[in-house]
Chain A
């Protein structure tokens, strides 16, 4: 197998941002799998398949980091008082108290309880309003949609 092509860090462009987003989504899915696994909602085959997919995604992210000359640690962003984008390894476990705030934990908890977003977005370029979007968005997990609200952890 040939060596992967490496890109100079200065030419990585939006790659760090995209990889950060992918890693956030990957860890969010991992947290949701853990919640469902702990509630014994998944079969052994589903748990195995989820683990295989998440490990493959993680390896893919690490390989792309190497290609673009990005330190995987740099995928995490320190957002000041809000906390970090991703928790440090071992700092967060779904459903357990966490001393370190992170956006991942916030999203995981919001998804678990469900959240409704309402708003308007204008997209444009060079001062021109081009797209107007009115949003009524409900984010939730399949599990919490099937479970009565008082039973959601």
Chain B
């Protein structure tokens, strides 16, 4: 159901049985439902996805919270008005060194150093390419949050292509998503 307080409209589940969050199966279903509601609302209007299992003890407590944070939430919604989130997964392309392995004597050991140097050079190229991508995103006004191999991007909705071709990374792009990581 929807709950209004001041100028904020919140989607809430009333009379929540907290014991269901303790059960793994029902908790998982609740997480999926929570995400589904966010996705459906996001398709209609800007949303602020609150953390799963944000619980209020009563309707009055909910109203109090919304009124207390009204200005903050409205300002954030305004900032996110025309933006969507994408998740970018960057996986380094791993190439075996091309320096041959068959040799004799000192050359056999020197090839180990050449292989090491080749790997170091490739990793340097990967870092440079990644930095170039982030600089490019910044110039487009795209905000990003790094999380391991994943990069969460907050992209202006009007922006078409915002990635550049990468040769040293495998790229997987997921989205558009609600702004989960920019609330």
A and B, one complex? yes
- What are the residues of chain A within 8 A of B104 when measuring CB–CB? 48, 51-52, 55
Most buried by B among A54, A90, A99: A90
* Minimum C-beta distance from B90 to chain A (A): 16
List the count of A-B residue pairs having beta carbons below 8 Å apart: 52
Do residues A91 and B106 form an inter-chain contact, with CB atoms below 8 A? no
| A107 contacts chain B at the CB level, 8 A cutoff | no
| A71 contacts chain B at the CB level, 8 A cutoff | no
Main secondary structure of the interface of A (DSSP, over half): helix
* Minimum C-beta distance from B39 to chain A (A): 33
- What are the residues of chain A within 8 A of B109 when measuring CB–CB? 30, 33-34, 37, 47, 51
**Chain A 27-64: CB-based contact to B (< 8 A → 1; otherwise 0):** 00010011001000000100110011011000000000
Identify which of A30, A47, A52, A93 contacts B116 (C-beta below 8 A).
A93
**Chain B 59-96: CB-based contact to A (< 8 A → 1; otherwise 0):** 00000000000000000000000000000000000101
* Minimum C-beta distance from B103 to chain A (A): 8
| B105 contacts chain A at the CB level, 8 A cutoff | yes
* 8 Å CB interface, B88-141 against A: 94, 96-97, 99, 101-109, 112-113, 115-116, 118-119, 123
Do residues A91 and B119 form an inter-chain contact, with CB atoms below 8 A? yes
Docked complex Cα distance between A33 and B109 (Å): 8
Identify which of A47, A93, A96 contacts B106 (C-beta below 8 A).
A47
Identify which of B94, B99, B107, B112 contacts A93 (C-beta below 8 A).
B112
- What are the residues of chain B within 8 A of A37 when measuring CB–CB? 106, 109
| A88 contacts chain B at the CB level, 8 A cutoff | yes
* Minimum C-beta distance from A28 to chain B (A): 13
- What are the residues of chain A within 8 A of B115 when measuring CB–CB? 89-90
* Minimum C-beta distance from A152 to chain B (A): 20
Do residues B116 and A92 form an inter-chain contact, with CB atoms below 8 A? yes
Which residues on B are within 8 Å of A, measured CB to CB? 94, 96-97, 99, 101-109, 112-113, 115-116, 118-119, 123
A-B contact pairs, 30 of them (CB 8 A): A30-B109, A30-B112, A33-B109, A34-B112, A34-B113, A37-B109, A47-B105, A47-B106, A47-B109, A48-B105, A48-B106, A51-B103, A51-B104, A51-B106, A51-B108, A52-B104, A55-B104, A88-B94, A88-B119, A89-B96, A89-B97, A89-B101, A90-B96, A90-B97, A90-B112, A90-B115, A90-B118, A90-B119, A91-B119, A93-B113
The 6 A-B pairs at the shortest CB distance, nearest first, are namely A90-B115, A93-B116, A90-B119, A90-B97, A51-B108, A48-B105
